[in-house]
Amino acid sequence: MFRLVVLGLTLALGSAAMAETAVSRLFEQERKVLSAIPEERLASYLSRPGVEVEYSRDWLSAQPVGTGGAEWRCLAEALYFEARGESVKGQFAVAEVILNRVDSTSFPDSVCGVIHQGTGRKYQCQFTYTCDGHKEVISEPRAFEQVSKVAHFMISGAPRPLTKGGTHYHTRAVSPRWSRTFARTATIGVHHFYRMPTRLSQN
C-alpha cells in the first residue's frame, strides 16, 4: 500500500490497478479545478508556501528569470514604466498598489484591467504611461528583467507589507487633490503611498 498526495488530498491505495484508476480520476478532478481558476489567481494557487522576499538587488538578481501569462506581463510592464528607476523595495511597493486594487471592489478585478483602466482618454487613465500619447518601448532589457522578477513574485502571492493596504501613490513632485483626503501609509523612494478611504472613491 502506498499513499498519494494530489493538491492536498492524501489517499491510501492498495493495488496497481486501484492506483491507476484513482490517479486518473484525481488528475481529471485536478484539471477541472485548475481550469476554473482565473489565470491571474492560478500562480498564487500553485505557489510554494513560505517563500520569503528580500528587498535587495543582490537577492533579486539571484532569482530565476520572471515568467508568466498575460497578467504577469501587464504587471511587469507597469513596473518598468512606472518604477524601473526605483529601488527593489519601491518596485515591490508599486506592485502592491496594483494588486491591492485588484482585490478592491472599487477597481477592475484583474491586473491588466487595473493597469489599463481609463486608457484611451489622454491623461485620464490611472497609470500615465498608458495614455500619455507615447509608444511604450522597453529599451532597457536589464531593468525589465529585474521588474519581471518582482512581478513574478507578486503574482505568485508574495506578502504585501510595505504599503499597508495602499491603493494609490504619486511622486513627491506632485500633489493630487485626492491626496488631501486619503491616508498616507508609506513613503518609499520618490513615491508617497495612500490607502483609499472606505466610503470615498477617486474622482
Per-residue pLDDT tens for 83-101? 999 999 999 999 999 999 9
Q: Same domain for 84 and 10?
A: no
Residue 158 sits in a domain whose CATH number is 1.10.10.2520
Regarding whether 162 and 66 lie in a shared domain, the answer is yes
Residue 89 lies in a domain: yes
Residue 200, pLDDT score: 45
Residue 41 lies in a domain: no
Residue 1 predicted with pLDDT over 50: no
Structural domain tally of the chain? 2
* Residue 17 and residue 115 in one domain: no
Say if residue 125 is in the same domain as residue 165: yes
CA distance 99 to 51: 18
190 or 199, which is more confident?
Answer: 190
pTM of the predicted structure, to 2 decimals: 0.72
Per the domain annotation, does 164 fall within a domain?
A: yes
175, pLDDT greater than 80: yes
pLDDT of residue 27: 42
| DSSP reduced 3-state for 173 | coil
Going from the C-alpha of 98 to that of each of 35, 75, 174, the distances in angstroms are 24, 8, 20
Query: What domain range is 25 assigned to?
Result: 2-36
Please state, in angstroms and rounded to a whole number, the distance separating the CA atoms of residues 177 and 102.
Answer: 23
Residue 109 falls within a domain, yes or no? Answer: yes
Distance CA 77, CA 136 (A): 9
- Residue 133 domain-assigned (yes or no): yes
Q: State whether 21 and 77 are in the same domain.
A: no
